[in-house]
A = this chain, B = another copy of it.
């Protein structure tokens, strides 16, 4: 009984210290605290998963705040449904304490709001994980916070927010973490903590992680909007199936031109196969389009196309898709 109390005191004492300062073989030390900014299909899913596994997770909620306070967060998951009844919810980050880790699940079109949102909840050792689509996000955030520890989070997951506090997780769920500017020991502690919580996390070199995700994201997000369809229809039609493959090869070519040698053409085949095995899916940009929300064109298309162009690599089909999306957005 006495020992138990000591451990509790230890937890109290060390709770806000970064895990890597402690002995990592102690289970209690590897339990990090999290804040979730953007409690939607992605942030809501991973945050709930971590909370279910016993992590302290603080959720930032806006319009859903009252509903979630009363009803909790409901996850309909292909891995088993669950409800998170007691949700540590906040209206604003100014009310939140700092956390070891901030998971950012915001749409990248709102990243101009991110500096002000982050300021109250980060300390010198906080890791900010940008679980967002696109290229160049970390660079832009680092400009605002030169000493911030930033990690890229690339989720391979089919999930959607169905309503207030209600997330549907249809399939997949693994997340690739790419270390942009965190001390490697802190990064490893984060990775371990997520694995301990049952999340299929993996370390992938930063640029490779970002571009790997773009291989799927750039063709499917835009094409489902441009042709007002879903992934399975694009895969079924021989003409668009071939087009999707060629667009994937443009992304791989761009990544190679930018020095990501690990990304080989066979990754396109792997992504094609993965998509064949997926449920018919509307990517996040398609949902944004359907619900007349701004689409993530700048970080998902403009930026990677520009970064590739700067090293002399053209992405003509994806540049055309960007133009089509800009036209569609101006009429949506």
Interface set of A (CB-CB < 8 Å, partner B): 226-227, 229, 233-234, 237-240, 242-243, 246, 316-317, 319-324, 326-328, 330-331
Whether the Cβ atoms of B320 and A227 lie closer than 8 Å is no
Closest-CB distance, A287 to chain B (whole angstroms): 20
Query: Which B residues are CB-close (under 8 A) to A239?
Result: 322-324, 326-327
Query: Which B residues are CB-close (under 8 A) to A331?
Result: 229, 233
| 9 A-B pairs with least C-beta separation | A239-B326, A243-B323, A316-B316, A239-B323, A240-B327, A317-B320, A237-B327, A316-B317, A320-B320
Selected A-B contacts with CB under 8 Å, 26 pairs: A226-B226, A227-B324, A227-B327, A229-B327, A229-B331, A233-B327, A233-B331, A234-B327, A237-B326, A237-B327, A237-B330, A239-B324, A239-B326, A239-B327, A240-B323, A240-B324, A240-B326, A243-B320, A243-B323, A243-B324, A246-B320, A316-B320, A317-B317, A317-B319, A317-B320, A320-B321
Whether the Cβ atoms of A328 and B227 lie closer than 8 Å is yes
Query: Which B residues are CB-close (under 8 A) to A321?
Result: 320
Query: What is the oligomeric copy number?
Result: 2
Closest-CB distance, A328 to chain B (whole angstroms): 7
Query: Which B residues are CB-close (under 8 A) to A328?
Result: 227
Query: Which B residues are CB-close (under 8 A) to A320?
Result: 243, 246, 316-317, 320-321
